[in-house]
A and B are shown apart, each in its own frame.
Chain A
Amino acid sequence: MPTTYAETYFPLLIQILIALAVAGGMIGASAFVGRKIKDRVKNSPYESGMEPVGNARERYSVKFYLVAMVFILFDIEAIFLYPWAVVYRELRLFGFFEMLLFIALVLCGFFYIWKKGVLDWSTEAHGEREQENKRVA
């Protein structure tokens, strides 16, 4: 059983070096032995055989940004839970109720974004909700 940080993490250093070598070797070998043919048509982005229209630097759905934001919130919540889970047996009832409070607060936010429709991905669901809101208003 290793005791110092160096003893625990040194094998990881070796492992990352070997993993980098494996990945680099695969890319290098393939670039070295693979043949190369120049071709004008091949050098355009694949769009089902049609002439490409514009390029791919376009705007995309804002929902992906929402997912990113929601992810950060909940991943931080999860990160708070990790150390709690490890020392849980020492904390006992205190730890349980503290975490109950924490999760209850997080769930309030969760149900808020749920009701706001952040978690609805299909546009139909959004449309329905807007109509519903109009009716209520």
Chain B
Amino acid sequence: MMISPYPVATIFGVLIVALTIAAGLIWLERRLLALWQDRYGPNRVGPFGLFQVMADMIKIFFKEDWIPPFADKTIFVIAPAIIMVTVLMSFAVLPIAPGIVVSDLNVGVLFILAMSSLGVYSVALAGWSSDNKYSLLGALRAAAQMLSYEVFMGLSIMGVVLLAGSFNLVQIIDAQRGLWFVIPQFLGFVLFLIAGVAETRRLPFDLPEAESELVAGFHSEYSGMKFGMFFVGEYLGITLISSLIAILFLGGWLGPILPPIVWFLLKTFLLICFFILLRASLPRPRFDQLMTWGWKVMLPLAVANLLVTGAIVVATAQGRSF
């Protein structure tokens, strides 16, 4: 079997870009929030405060790497690594431009869903191993929330899979040449967006780490780079969900004039900004409201969306217009 060096170069490229974007988001988020709240944000270190990222990174590395004596030490150390590895693995199946994909899996969508399910272990184990009541509550909330929204996330993609007839992300993009799936699958798009916010535990669905009631939730006892890994993991998660929305609903790299990779990055960037705008503008619901909303509204809507899409596909089976 011949193994070309090509995938290794792509892997490094994808991982470096993903980690750079995630680190840059720390700065971007603070600047954008400041912009929308009518203040400056970090603007002292380097041009536009851009070197703030470096300063933060150096600071967090040199912070005391504290492992609580009362914690379950092995699990405590492994937990933040799990979220980093699972999110970084998900980037392997994302097609960034024609031909630029680490592994063109024919079950790409399933792979990403599987990896995001594994991510639940990270927060659940982190909270449980900390042996702190706030952490435990945060972890339980996170597990319940992520598991529930996982179901709706999977169901809301099914409409796209029906239309494209494949789990392969490259083929899903190719199927959108005529029309981006955001138009025939608008409901699915909205459901996936909501589920994506819940899955990455971002505001307004950041109940697992709601600081006004749970201090910092599942990572209350974490410090130094282990805390930083949850942080970077969250930003990687936003990047992943944004690129996934761009691929599944907004045609991925498709677009006129500009080169494909620019289109892909542009769409992803706008979605990331939208995620930050959500944080700037929405209040946090109560936990029971979040769960009730998921099971009583999202689930029926996702099933209805799937059935209606199925009916339309059957009705227009000859034309293959989508």
From A18, A20, A46, B215 is in contact (CB under 8 Å) with: A46
Complex interface bits, B130-156 against A, C-beta within 8 A gives 1, otherwise 0: 111111110010011001101100110
Place the interface of chain A in its size category. 35 or more
Complex interface bits, A66-90 against B, C-beta within 8 A gives 1, otherwise 0: 0110110011001001100110110
From A18, A35, A47, A88, B310 is in contact (CB under 8 Å) with: A88
Complex interface bits, A94-134 against B, C-beta within 8 A gives 1, otherwise 0: 00100110010001001000100001111000000000000
Given A34-B62, A46-B134: A22 touches B88 (CB 8 Å cut-off): yes
Q: What residue in chain A is nearest B110 (Cβ atoms)? A: A82
Closest approach, in angstroms, between the C-beta of B82 and any C-beta of chain A? 8
Interface members, chain B 145-191 (any A CB < 8 Å):
147-148, 150-151, 154-155, 158, 161-162, 165-167
**Chain B CB within 10 A, most for which of A6, A47, A82:** A82
The reply to whether the CB of B85 lies closer than 8 angstroms to some CB of chain A is: yes
Closest approach, in angstroms, between the C-beta of A116 and any C-beta of chain B? 13
Q: What residue in chain A is nearest B167 (Cβ atoms)? A: A86
The reply to whether the CB of B66 lies closer than 8 angstroms to some CB of chain A is: yes
What secondary structure prevails in chain B residues at the interface with A?
Answer: helix
Given A8-B103, A34-B224, A81-B155: A42 touches B84 (CB 8 Å cut-off): no
Q: What residue in chain B is nearest A9 (Cβ atoms)? A: B103
Chain A positions within 8 Å of B296 at CB level: 114, 119
Chain B positions within 8 Å of A44 at CB level: 70
Determine if B69 and A43 form an interchain contact, defined as CB atoms under 8 angstroms apart.
yes
**With A and B bound together, what is the CA distance between A56 and B140 in angstroms?**
12
Determine if B162 and A85 form an interchain contact, defined as CB atoms under 8 angstroms apart.
yes
Given A19-B85, A29-B225: A67 touches B144 (CB 8 Å cut-off): yes
Q: Which of B26-34, B244-252, B284-292 contacts A (4 or more CB under 8 A)?
A: B284-292
Q: What is the interface of chain B, defined by CB distance below 8 A to chain A?
A: 1, 3, 7-8, 10-12, 15, 19, 60-66, 68-70, 77, 80-81, 84-85, 88-89, 91-92, 102-106, 110, 130-137, 140, 143-144, 147-148, 150-151, 154-155, 158, 161-162, 165-167, 215, 220-221, 224-226, 228-229, 286-289, 291-292, 295-296, 299, 303, 306-307, 310-311, 313-314, 317
Q: What is the interface of chain A, defined by CB distance below 8 A to chain B?
A: 1-2, 4, 6-12, 14-16, 18-20, 22-24, 26-27, 29-31, 33-37, 42-48, 55-58, 60-61, 63-64, 67-68, 70-71, 74-75, 78, 81-82, 85-86, 88-89, 92-93, 96, 99-100, 103, 107, 110, 114, 119-122
Q: A34-B224, A103-B306 are in contact. List 20 more A-B contacts (CB 8 A).
A: A10-B3, A11-B92, A15-B102, A16-B85, A23-B84, A26-B84, A33-B62, A45-B70, A45-B131, A46-B220, A55-B131, A88-B310, A88-B313, A89-B317, A96-B314, A100-B307, A103-B303, A119-B296, A121-B289, A121-B291
